[in-house]
Amino acid sequence: MPIATPDMYRKMLKKAKEKKFAFPAINVTSMETARAAIEGFAEKKSDGILQVSTGGAEYASGIVLKNMAIGAVALADYIHFIAKEFNVCIALHTDHCQPGKLDTFVRPLIAETKKRREKGLPNLFNSHMFDGSELSLKENMKVAKQLLEEMKGTELLLEVEAGVVGGEEDGVDTSDTPHDKLYTTPEDMVYVYQELSQLTDYFLFAATFGNVHGVYKPGNVKLKPSILKDGQNAVGKLSASLNLVFHGGSGSLIEEIHETLEYGVVKMNVDTDTQYAYTRPLVDHFFKNYDGALKVDGEVGNKKIYDPRSYGKLGEKSMLARVALACDDLRSSGQSICL
């Protein structure tokens, strides 16, 4: 079916919170990875979220243009076209946009959505993320509120982050972040709610509780999901509840993932694991077919081996399976609002 309408997107998130499951939010960079994600959701009868980061969008535009806004629009248009062939709801989201990239990424995409609405077309994206974690919390919320003002009349949702997700993603390295910055406090969560609720009744909040981007060996990541519980309890005193996002979820223990679902996590970003799932069969393909993939010692190779379709299908199939596993892990399987 077509990309989720704003009402459908809210219905998806509301159901996830009530039923204590979360949507895998899969980062995509190409038609192949977008298809794999949608196919994985469809296989599990799960609605889902496809998201495009600044680096992923720039990659999608090609090595000549290197224009993140153009890449994001091109990917979104393709996803709009292909998603309607599947009987699950797919939402589109942009991931991790730092303050310095707002004018070349999120703001042009907001403008594009406004143009579409003027023509009677559906929104390009469902939501955008502003990552203001490098700013003071006060400045972070000031910029977030400016974005909400710019989004008026579009029905777009905003995702914000307070605290820092460790590790490295899209060239942004936060490995040296002071330990205490990796944990959002209850006071921070209350402040975010009080500031943003002045302008909107619905937003997504990526609170940090020791999560990091990338996959690390067991014991290296010190997650504290109870931080989310403490924050929700603090916000609950204002008769409110936050819609939380789990960033840096790849490689997390299933018990910790399930605990976060109890505290209001409705969306979990999955990128590193699906990147590996896509790439692993390609490596296998070339190692096993080295002489067919290359024209070695005057030979001509084997077109069936080096044709990109031969290994692209392998990557797509493997990533599809990893997305399906994410649906099971996050308990979104069989929960589509289309059922």
Strand partners, 102: none
What pLDDT, on the 0 to 100 scale, is given for residue 330? Answer: 98
DSSP state of 105: T
What pLDDT, on the 0 to 100 scale, is given for residue 54? Answer: 97
- Chain centroid offset of residue 296 CA: 41
The conformational region for residue 13 under phi > 0 = left, psi -120 to 50 = alpha, else beta, is alpha
**95 given a catalytic annotation:** yes
Dihedral angle computed from the Cα positions of residues 331, 163, 108 and 16, in that order, rounded to the nearest 10 degrees: 20
Contacts of 130 (CB under 8 A, 6+ apart): 97, 99, 102, 106, 143, 144, 147, 158, 159, 160, 161
> Distance (Å, rounded) from C-alpha 86 to C-alpha 264?
28
Type of residue found at 25: A
Packed helices 31-43 and 272-288: angle between N→C axes, nearest 10 degrees: 110
Which class is domain 6-329?
Answer: alpha beta
Question: Among 7, 47, 95, 307, which one carries the catalytic annotation?
Answer: 95
What pLDDT, on the 0 to 100 scale, is given for residue 218? Answer: 43
Phi, psi at residue 23, to the nearest 5°? -90, 130
In the chain, domain spans: 6-329
What pLDDT, on the 0 to 100 scale, is given for residue 287? Answer: 96
Beta strands in the chain, from DSSP E residues, in sequence order: 23-27, 48-53, 90-97, 127-130, 157-162, 166-169, 172-173, 204-207, 212-213, 243-246, 265-270
312: nearest Cα among 35, 28, 25: 35
What pLDDT, on the 0 to 100 scale, is given for residue 219? Answer: 46
Strand partners, 183: 209
3-state secondary structure of 292: helix
User: How do the pLDDT tens digits run along the chain, 339 residues long?
Assistant: 899 999 999 999 999 999 999 999 999 999 999 999 999 999 999 999 999 999 999 999 999 999 999 999 999 999 999 999 999 999 999 999 999 999 999 999 999 999 999 999 999 999 999 999 889 999 999 999 999 999 999 999 999 998 755 444 455 544 454 455 668 999 999 999 999 999 999 999 999 888 765 554 444 557 889 999 999 999 999 999 999 999 877 667 899 999 999 999 999 999 999 999 999 999 999 999 999 999 888 888 999 999 999 999 999 999 999 999 999 999 999 999 998
What pLDDT, on the 0 to 100 scale, is given for residue 175? Answer: 47
> Distance (Å, rounded) from C-alpha 305 to C-alpha 317?
17
> Distance (Å, rounded) from C-alpha 228 to C-alpha 257?
12
Contacts of 318 (CB under 8 A, 6+ apart): 277, 278, 280, 281
According to DSSP, the β-strands at 204-207 and 243-246 are parallel
